[in-house]
Amino acid sequence: MGYRLLHWGPIVALSIVSSISTFTILCHVEWWPLQTKGAFVDMFVFLLWNFLTLFNFFRAAFKGPGLVPYGWTPENPDDRKSLQYCTICEGYKVPRSHHCRKCQRCVMKMDHHCPWINNCLGHFNHANFTAFLFFAPCGCIHSLFILIPSLYRAIYRNYYIFYGTGREPIVDLGAISLIGSMLSVGLAFGVVLAVGGLFVVQLRSIIRNETGIETWIKDKAEYRDREEDEQDFVYPYHLGRWNNLRMVLHLKTRPELNGIWWPVRDGCNQFTLTEEQIKQKKEKRGRSVHYEVVRSFSGSLCPITYGLRVCCCPPCMDEQRVRLREREIVLVSRFRKHWLYGDKVHRLKSQSLIGDKGKRERGWFPRKCVRRLGVSHGDMKEYLCYEQSHYMNENSLNDKVHLNEDNSNENSEEEQEQEQDTKVDKKNI
C-alpha cells in the first residue's frame, strides 16, 4: 500500500506538514524553552495536533473508502432493474456507489477522489478524512501563535538586546531558519483557510447525509422534466442531523453499516436515489449530440496546434482528455466554448458500441477537431451500419482493382515472354 504515498498529492501534503512542524518546534525552543512546565505543556499540545493530523491522514489514505466486490449482484433478481450496471467491474452498483475513473473500481458511498490522500473518499474512511480536515487547521492555528511572536522577536533582536529589560527571550534565527519560518507562516495561513473551508463543506454534507455527487443529483432532480403522474423527488437518506452525524462521526474502527444497504426515511426505499439517477442519465443521453472527428487529437493537455484560445481556456475539471482519430464518432454530453466532452462510439463490429460490455473511452477534446452530425440518437446504429457497409464496399472495390491490375501485369509479362521466345526461334532458323 506504500504506492499511495508515491503521488504528488501526499508528497505535497506531507511536505507542508513537516515544514510547518519543523520550523514551529525550532521557534518554540528559541522563544519558549522547555525549562518551564507551561512550555512543556504547550509543546505537548502542538505535537498532539501533529500526531492526530498524520494519524488520520494515513488512516484515510490506507484504509480506503470500501470497494464494491467484482461482479456484485443483488440476491433478489427483481432489484436489478432499479440498479445501474458497471461494465468495467462487471457487476451492479450498490446504492450510493459510483465508479471512480482513477481507482477503476466502484466505490461505496463515493464523495470524490481526493488527490491529497491519493484515494477515494467514501464510506469507510469518511470519518478519518473529516478528522484530518479538523486537526490540520487546529495545529496550524497553534503554530501561528508560536511562529509570529518568534519572528517578531527575531527581527527586533538587537532592540531587545540593547533596550530590553533582560527578561525577554532572545530569539536568534539564522538566514535559512528566518526564511523558512516566514514561509511556514504563509503555509499555515493557507492551510487554515483552504483545509478549514473544506472541513466546513464536509461537515455540512455529513449533517445532511449527502455526498458531493448526491448533492449534484439532488439539485438536478429539482429541474428535471417529470411526467404528469410522477411524484417529486425526496432525498431518502436524510434521517435528522443527530442521526446523520452519528452515522459518520464515531470512535469505532469501522462503521456499523456494511456500505451496501442503508437506512432510509419514510416514504422512500433503497433504490429511490438510484432510480432518479437512471432517469437523469436517460434524459442526458436524449440531449447528447453525435459529432464526427475531422482532425485527429492526441489527447494533449495543451494542444497548441488548435490555437491559443483552446490552450488558455481548458475545462476546469480533473477529467482526462481522449485521443481521437479521423472519421471516429463521438457522443457529446457536455459543452464548453472551446471544448467538448463525450464518449467514443466505435464504427466496426469488432469494437463495442456505447452501452455494451467493455471499457468506455471518454474525455475532453477541442471543439475544432469535430463536426456535428445531423443524425438522431435513435438512428445512430443504422448510420454506423451504413458507414460500415460503405467502408467494406470501398475495400472490396479496391481489392478488385488491385486484383485486375495484378492479372493485367501477369498477362503482359506472359506476352513479353512469348515475343522473346518467337524472336529466339527466328534467329535459330
Q: Which residues are catalytic?
A: 114
- Cell reading at 348: 466496426
Tell which phi-psi region holds residue 223, choosing left (phi > 0), alpha (psi between -120 and 50) or beta. Answer: alpha
Question: How far is Cα 244 from Cα 237, in angstroms, rounded to an integer?
Answer: 9
Which amino acid, 414?
E
Tell me the Cα Rg of the chain. Answer: 33
Look at residues 131, 155, 146 and name the one whose alpha carbon lies nearest to residue 59. Answer: 131
Provide the 10 A C-beta neighbour count for residue 335.
Answer: 12
Question: How far is Cα 120 from Cα 49, in angstroms, rounded to an integer?
Answer: 24
Distances (CA, A) of 49 to 110, 142, 251: 28, 9, 17
Look at residues 90, 91, 92, 102 and name the one whose alpha carbon lies nearest to residue 65. Answer: 102
Look at residues 331, 338, 419 and name the one whose alpha carbon lies nearest to residue 375. Answer: 331
Which amino acid, 295?
R
Q: For cell 463543506, what's the residue?
A: 201
Maximum Cα interatomic distance, the chain, rounded to a whole number of Å: 135
Distances (CA, A) of 144 to 139, 188, 209, 230, 265: 9, 7, 33, 56, 45
Q: For cell 425526496, what's the residue?
A: 234
Q: 113 near 120, Cβ under 8 Å? A: yes
Q: What is the DSSP string of 325-390?
A: -TT-EEEEEEE-SSEEEEEEE--STTSPPTTSSS---EEEEEGGGEEE----STTHHHHHHHHHHH
Question: How far is Cα 86 from Cα 93, in angstroms, rounded to an integer?
Answer: 6
Q: Could you tell me whether strands 85-86 and 105-107 are parallel, antiparallel, or unpaired per DSSP bridges?
A: unpaired
Alpha helices in 224-359 (DSSP H): 241-248, 272-287, 308-312
